[in-house]
Amino acid sequence: MTFPDRKYTDIAAFSDDYFDRERAAARSVDRGRLAEAARLLDDVYQRGATLFVCGNGGSAAIANTFVCDHAKLIQTDTAVVPRVVSLSANTSMMTAIANDLSYDDIFVYPLRTAARPGDALLTISASGDSENVVLAARWARDNDVAVIAFTGFSGGRTAELATVNVHVDADNYGVIEDTHQALMHILAQYIRQAHMDEGLIAERKF
Does any domain span residue 18? no
Does any domain span residue 143? yes
DSSP secondary structure letter of residue 151: E
CATH number of the domain within which 190 lies:
3.40.50.10490
- For residue 101, count CB atoms less than 10 angstroms from its CB and return exposed for 0-12, middle for 13-18, buried for 19 or more: exposed
Does any domain span residue 135? yes
Does any domain span residue 87? yes
Q: What would the mean pLDDT of 158-166 be, rounded to a whole number?
A: 98
Residue 37 belongs to domain spanning? 32-196
pLDDT of residue 161: 98
Does any domain span residue 58? yes
Give the whole-number percent of the chain exceeding pLDDT 70: 100
| Closest-CA residue to 124 (of 145, 151, 103, 85) | 151
pLDDT of residue 1: 67
Assign residue 113 a region: left if phi > 0, alpha if psi is -120 to 50, beta otherwise? Answer: alpha
Does any domain span residue 25? no
Taking the C-alpha atoms of residue 140 and residue 129, their distance in angstroms, rounded to an integer, is: 16
- Per-residue pLDDT reduced to its tens digit, 6-57: 999 999 999 999 999 999 999 999 999 999 999 999 999 999 999 999 999 9
Q: What would the mean pLDDT of 155-184 be, rounded to a whole number?
A: 98
Name the average pLDDT for the chain. 97
C-alpha R_g of the chain: 17
**pLDDT confidence band for 114 (50 / 70 / 90):** very high
Does any domain span residue 15? no
Q: pTM of the predicted model, to two decimals?
A: 0.95
Does any domain span residue 157? yes
- Per-residue pLDDT reduced to its tens digit, 67-95: 999 999 999 999 999 999 999 999 999 99
Number of domains in the chain: 1
